[in-house]
């Protein structure tokens, strides 16, 4: 595939449940590793929620492929971190016929 530029290093994270000491659970994020990626914006919109106005961006993030089941292969429900930015992964699919790259569809929510 031409045009893929893996020029940003993202941290892949997975949610983990941690006991809160009061019989409940807290959500914590565990680092699985770093991946080089090509981040491409798809669309964006404003949404209103209980906490106020938010901008919701949709992104296509391309990374090198990893075998199914490998810890370095992104999955829906995980997230990428790029500095202070967080991209929630909603779906992952192979990007090309040779399965050299994966396309991760992700969303970023920013308070406005």
Give Dmax over CA atoms of the chain in angstroms: 53
Query: What is the value of pTM for the model shown?
Result: 0.86
- Residue 55 and residue 112 in contact, taking contact as beta carbons nearer than 8 Å: yes
Q: What is the mean pLDDT of the chain?
A: 91
pLDDT-derived band at 1, boundaries 50, 70, 90 = very low
pLDDT score at 2: 58
- In a 10 Å sphere around its CB, with 0-12 CB exposed, 13-18 middle and 19+ buried, how is residue 4 labelled? middle
Residue 85 in this model has a pLDDT that exceeds 90 = yes
Of 3.40.50.2000, 2.40.10.270, 3.30.420.40, 1.20.1250.20, which CATH number belongs to 8-111? Answer: 2.40.10.270
The stretch 89-112 carries a mean pLDDT of 91
What pLDDT digit, counting tens, does each position of 22-58 carry?
988 898 999 999 999 999 999 988 887 777 788 889 9
């Amino acid at each position: 595939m031409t045009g893929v530029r893996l020029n940003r290093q993202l941290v892949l994270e997975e949610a983990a449940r941690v006991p809160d000491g009061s019989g409940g659970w807290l959500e914590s994020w565990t680092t699985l590793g770093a991946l080089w990626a090509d981040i491409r914006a798809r669309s964006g919109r404003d949404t209103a929620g209980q906490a106020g106005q938010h901008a919701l961006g949709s992104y296509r993030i391309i990374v090198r492929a990893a075998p199914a089941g490998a810890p370095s292969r992104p999955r829906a429900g995980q997230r990428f971190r790029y500095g202070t930015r967080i991209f929630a992964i909603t779906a992952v699919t192979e990007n090309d016929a040779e399965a050299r790259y994966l396309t991760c569809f992700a969303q970023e929510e920013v308070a406005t």
